[in-house]
Amino acid sequence: MKPNNLSEFYKDKSPLINRLSSKEYILFVEELTAVFDGFKALDIPAWGIKKGELRVLIGPNGAGKTTLCDLISGKTKPTTGYIFFEGKDITNELESDIALKGIGRKFQTPKVYDSLTTYDNMELALPGRRSIFNYIKDTVTSNDKEKIKYILEKVNLIEHHDKEARHLSHGQRQWLSISMLILSKPKLLLIDEPAAGLSDIETQLTAELLIELRNDHTIMVIEHDMDFVRKLDSKVTVLNEGKLLAEDNITSLTNDSRVIEAYLGR
């Protein structure tokens, strides 16, 4: 499949005439570009993710993967184009407002509080408690406690609920960071390189966690570890030089000469 045809595929799937009312895609971008100091870091005519999908983004460094996440999350504003979430234009909305609409993001480095326990980190992540002042002032309800317990059990951290985050393994810190994110029930999770620095066992458990989470969330994962990508067994989008290069399952992509030349053969 050639890059231009890939863009046309998405336009055919979600025509301009009914794009706003389409229920097939939770996220859809159109004519999206990002230019920095004259350099076009991203140029995507059309692309989308379906509701309930686990999508993986791969590509060489500088391909535009993180830039795309920055645009979707509102951290960076596009030079041109549109971003639609659940059929609504969020292109020019604030990062905080986009998060409130249901787009959550986990960066490559886990954002946890080392001096707090696993459970306390989760309490701090509860909606309305994203400051130490609110953490001290507010009362945690029994319903909140049940939510925290349920999520910690799901990510195998319930036995470490009273352990300070500094003493967790790198993989466990990754799981805690993801858990803090899903506590706010985002509809779309943007996860950057979750397998980075993990042991083989942690990598397997993280893949299983993301596969399980897809039952409740739509997930977009940026990843470089091809073994991890294979474990996810999901549709993969390849970016190169800011453009859509190919999209298929990882087995087919590993036999695509364009993908091998641009990325996998490096």
**Residue pLDDT, tens place only, 62-103:** 999 999 999 999 999 999 999 999 989 999 999 999 998 999
Say whether pLDDT at 131 is over 60: no
**172-194 b/e (C-beta count within 10 Å ≥ 16 → b):** bbbbbbbbbbbbeebbbbbbbbb
pLDDT score for 159:
95
Angle, alpha carbons 249-210-107 (nearest 5°)? 100
Report which residue type is found at 144. D
Q: How far is CA 51 from the centre of its chain?
A: 13
Residue (of 186, 178, 154) closest to 73 by Cα position: 186
Q: Are 178 and 191 in contact (CB under 8 A)?
A: yes
pLDDT score for 201:
86
For residue 150, give both structure tokens.
């349920």
Q: Are 161 and 118 in contact (CB under 8 A)?
A: yes
For residue 50, give both structure tokens.
């379906």
Q: How confident is the model at residue 2 (pLDDT cuts 50, 70, 90)?
A: very low
The share of the chain scoring above pLDDT 70, in percent, equals 86
The residue ranges of every structural domain in the chain are 3-102+186-264, 111-170
Report which residue type is found at 208. E
Pick the CATH number of 3-102+186-264 from 3.40.50.720, 3.40.50.970, 3.90.950.20, 3.40.50.300: 3.40.50.300
Angle, alpha carbons 221-224-225 (nearest 5°)? 100
pTM of the model: 0.84
Query: How many Å apart are CA 223 and CA 56, to the nearest integer?
Result: 7
pLDDT score for 182:
84
pLDDT score for 6:
63
Q: Are 34 and 71 in contact (CB under 8 A)?
A: yes
Query: How many Å apart are CA 140 and CA 228, to the nearest integer?
Result: 37
pLDDT score for 167:
95
pLDDT score for 213:
85
Angle, alpha carbons 237-240-244 (nearest 5°)? 45
pLDDT per residue over 30-54, tens digit each? Answer: 899 999 999 999 999 889 999 999 9
